[in-house]
Amino acid sequence: QLHDHHDPSATSTRRTEQHRADEVARAFFWQTPGAMCPYIISALLLGWMGEPTHDNIETIHLQYMILVGIGILPSLLVLVILSRRVWQKY
């Protein structure tokens, strides 16, 4: 007679695979907004500060510095979150 029994390792493996798939899906989701943000912010800066000209080169530098500064914020957020997780373990 065959007995049906539940294999706990199979359930654990399925959960691990599902967790991994969820993480990959999140990473792919955030690629599009991350790729579009610099263009959107640049368009907003152009609308706010006006079109730069050769006579007003400082505007180009300021727009670039603002764009880079805003781009650094997500990286800093990740570093802070990860460093907190590491320090909580110790």
Distance, CA of 14 to CA of 32 (rounded, Å): 28
What tokens appear for 65 in the block? Answer: 């510095």
pLDDT single digits (tens) 46-84: 888 887 777 778 888 888 999 999 999 988 998 999 999
pLDDT single digits (tens) 34-48: 899 999 999 998 888
- Answer whether 0.85 is exceeded by the pTM: no
25 Cβ contact partners less than 8 Å away, ≥ 6 residues apart: none
